[in-house]
Amino acid sequence: MILPIVNYGHPALRQKGARVESVTAELRQLIDDMLETMYAAAGIGLAAQQVGRALELTVIDVRAATDRPSTLERDGKPADIGAFMPLVLINPALRPHGEPDTGPEGCLSFPGIYADITRPARVDVVTTTPGGERIEFSAGGLLSRVVQHEVDHLNGILFIDRMTRSVKAGLQPELDALQQATKAALKAR
């Protein structure tokens, strides 16, 4: 089932996710629905907060972004990204590292708004899979950026919080309009 994606101004986007204690049938359904919703919106990542659920859960699939390379290492060796997708992160812990890397980002909760964001180039991840397995991997390139963007959502952090002051100032009229439209729609319900 395709779920409604909430936009900037919805309080769920500022909520820190609760830890997922067990992968229930309900959670499996939510994961399936989040994947379906992400693909339908042509996104490459979607966090639970973006469908109104404050949980430490996000789904990612970078296969569609063929113009922006990703790297993946498991056990210190390069691994096949395609075989690792879609990626479902439950209770992930990150260690971003490496040189700062600046690249364009968008967000399904900010339709039509894009900006350059600087983040560490690489990230080490420890996470739980839907099968309950604890796995570790390292990512670079676009996958590193998407993992950091999505896990920010799980902590109530948005990409506008990572923009330089001048970039955010340039987008402020659009951000204000989106926030007001979201709040007005919530009030009208």
Residues near Zn ion (CB under 5 A): 107
Query: In angstroms, what CA-CA distances link 95 with 98, 151, 185?
Result: 10, 11, 37
Nearer to Zn ion, 107 or 131 (CB): 107
Nearer to Zn ion, 49 or 128 (CB): 49
Nearer to Zn ion, 8 or 76 (CB): 8
Structure tokens belonging to residue 160: 């506008």
- The residue at minimum Cβ distance from Zn ion is 107
Task: Please provide the DSSP assignment of 107-143 as one string.
Answer: -TTSTT--EEEEEEEEEEEEEE-TTS-EEEEEEEHHH
Nearer to Zn ion, 14 or 73 (CB): 14
Minimum CB distance to Zn ion, residue 158 (Å): 7
Choice among 26, 99, 105, 150 that is catalytic = 150
Minimum CB distance to Zn ion, residue 45 (Å): 7
Indicate if 56 belongs to the active site: no
Minimum CB distance to Zn ion, residue 114 (Å): 12
Residue 86: cis peptide before it, omega within 30 degrees of 0: yes
Minimum CB distance to Zn ion, residue 3 (Å): 15
| Residues forming beta bridges with residue 105, ordered by sequence position | 115
In contact, 37 and 5? CB cutoff 8 Å? yes
Active-site residue set: 150
